[in-house]
Amino acid sequence: MSSLTDISWEEFSALPLKAKRPYLEGKNGMPYHTLFAQQFDRELLERLCNLANRIRFINKSKEGALYLKNLLTHKRAMLYFSQPSSRTFLSHLNACQLLGLTTSSVRDAATSSEAKGESKTDTVRTFSSYVDMIIMRCPEKGLAEQMAWELSNSDRPIPILNAGSGKDQHPTQALLDIYTLIRSFETKGGLDGRTVVFCGDLLRGRTVRSLSYLLTNFNDVKQIFVAPKELQVPEDVIEILKEKGVSYEISDDLKAATKVADAVYMTRIQDEWDESKGESAKIDTSRFKFGAEELALLKPDGCILHPLPRRDEIATCCDHDPRAMYWRQMRNGMWIRAALIASVFGLEDEIMNCGY
């Protein structure tokens, strides 16, 4: 089995994402380091979703919850979030707590020795001295990958879990998104053959990039990208769809797309990535909002997703419609992240076969 100790950082960083996957796997075929969506094929996705469902079921009883909490009481996790977050942070924190992990956190680099000029590499190496897993969220592209390589080649090789890295990847958000879609259609014929619409800031939305890739693992799922031309999906995403023979459409008509959609995935404008202040505000986004008119056009068994936080791209009148899945989607994040963490520590078989 390939390992990050077998390859230099320069060689590893130059590989295409698909070729990096073997270097990141654990003994059970699941990722040891979770860095990008391309690490997951359909088999792994279904295994993780089944494990998440099993954890949900076990946790319903007091005895089951105590069983889960005793699984990793001997392990510690560090949540290193140098980029603002509430949902992603709390979701990972509660996923750890479900399994009994002791947690520590840094949520602002200004409160760490980085403020004194310490490199991020030294910061992460320091954290690794105290814990058994680092869950990190950062604005720098590729930093999670680099830290995974650094730790694998250190005397303290512990797993890195990418909770959002730059504008390129957010693999655990994509996992909870695909988990929500699978659960939404599990009694309605499944996810195969569906049409998924992405709307909003598709250029800078790392959740869109990651979920779009995961959807390519399913059969005949058409993807429609609805956005202003300035924020339309980037070409590298389209190239992947072409390579995999996935049907897709580029559009600026949300109403027309909603009529044929099984799922609509809305996103906010990612203006934190603006190169100049107020740059995004100059773009007309008035036709890329989901409200009462769009809700009336959506199929009766369709669903609306959003990675949150939202602004005004989904009207609050949609919140109590049974097709609005974004609140359930958020809670799903805790379960699928607990499943991922459990699998990293080799607990998949134990949990699936326990007596609860």
Which entry of 88, 123, 207, 258 is annotated as an active-site residue? 88
Q: Which residue has the tokens 């809700």?
A: 295
Per-residue tokens: 70: 């005793």
Enumerate residues 6+ apart whose C-beta is below 8 A from 279: 271
Which entry of 87, 107, 125, 299 is annotated as an active-site residue? 87
Cite the DSSP H helix spans in the chain: 9-14, 17-20, 42-58, 62-69, 87-98, 120-128, 143-152, 171-185, 206-215, 235-243, 254-260, 292-297, 326-344, 348-352
Please confirm, yes or no, whether 76 is among the known catalytic residues.
Answer: no
Please confirm, yes or no, whether 209 is among the known catalytic residues.
Answer: no
Closest CA to 84 of 52, 109, 57, 120: 109
Please confirm, yes or no, whether 69 is among the known catalytic residues.
Answer: no
Which entry of 20, 120, 137, 306 is annotated as an active-site residue? 137
At residue 316, the 3 state secondary structure works out as helix
Please confirm, yes or no, whether 88 is among the known catalytic residues.
Answer: yes
At residue 353, the 3 state secondary structure works out as coil
| Paired residues of 25 in beta bridges | 31
Which entry of 92, 170, 222, 337 is annotated as an active-site residue? 170
Which entry of 27, 116, 277, 320 is annotated as an active-site residue? 116
Please confirm, yes or no, whether 107 is among the known catalytic residues.
Answer: no
Separation CA 40–CA 48 (nearest Å): 10
- Active-site residue numbers? 87-88, 116, 137, 170
